[in-house]
Copies of this chain bind each other. A is one copy, B any other.
Amino acid sequence: MLAEGSSLEKAGVNRSTVEGVLPAAMAQRLGARIGGAAEARFFVAGMSVVIHPRSPMIPTVHLNVRYFEITDAAGEPVDAWFGGGTDLTPTYPYPDDARHFHRTLQAICARHHPTFYPRFKTWCDHYFVNAHRGDERRGVGGVFFDHLRPGEAGLDLEALLTFWLDLGRSLPATYGPILDRRRGEPWGDRERRLQLFRRGRYVEFNLVHDRGTLFGLQTNARIESVLMSLPPLAAWEYAPEWGPGTIEARLMGMLEPRDWVAEVPTSS
């Protein structure tokens, strides 16, 4: 954990390995294939990174990779899969940053399988959604996937592992250049206010919808680790309204899913 840094208001890296009994009902919620067994055992190794910069000109970023292994009562493997994702949550509406983030992810995914980026980009657009806010997205997305099993897309365990490790190491390429080019941008109370407002939405997504968080709350995992991703400071405003063309309205427009890889930059 890094707290109250001059550039990074809060940043954390969380590694965890958890194992335990997996009752049939929980296996079903997890999407684990345990046949007709009443229970199985699970092992999960995961890593999460979240960075909440102080400057509203620098987006928040999140990355998670996880690997599940399910064994039966005799200890024999019965299921295994990779999951993961990384998404960008801007305050100031810089389309260039969303384009850079998505294009870099597209290039990483394309090294492993041509369908990965388009599938996982769409999956991400449907995952980081505040359904209770009229399907408002928490940010401009990225990639997200789950239940990626050996054999999928013709790739064996080793090939999937290589992709997964690439994704787990992607932040310097996806996020590093954004951090560098926005670090010196001036900002004031208006940008900070919008950032705290958007962080409120981030809190809502994580506590109401995020599967990893709810899994953690239900499994009595270490709570400070489960909630590490919450922002250091967040605000709620009652029914704000923004005129067309304001930075607030432009940001909200950017949250609508779109094809960041294909589009040609405009002057905006």
Interface residues of A, Cβ cutoff 8 Å to B: 1, 3, 10, 12, 132-134, 196, 200, 203-204, 207-208, 217, 223-224, 226-228, 230-239
Contacts and interface: CB of A to CB of B under 8 A. Distances in A.
B228 A238 contact: yes
Given A132-B223, A237-B3, A217 B228 contact: no
Contacts of A203: 203, 207, 234
A33 B233 CA distance: 43
A232 B235 contact: yes
Q: Is the interface of A mostly helix, strand, loop or mixed?
A: mixed
Contacts of A196: 233
Could you say which of A10, A132, A203, A204 has the most chain B C-beta atoms within 10 Å of its C-beta? A132
Contact of A132 (B208, B217, B234): B217
Contacts of A132: 217, 223, 226
Nearest to A133: B223
19 contacts: A1-B238, A10-B236, A12-B238, A132-B226, A133-B223, A134-B223, A203-B234, A204-B207, A204-B227, A224-B238, A228-B238, A231-B236, A232-B235, A232-B236, A232-B237, A233-B233, A233-B234, A233-B236, A234-B235
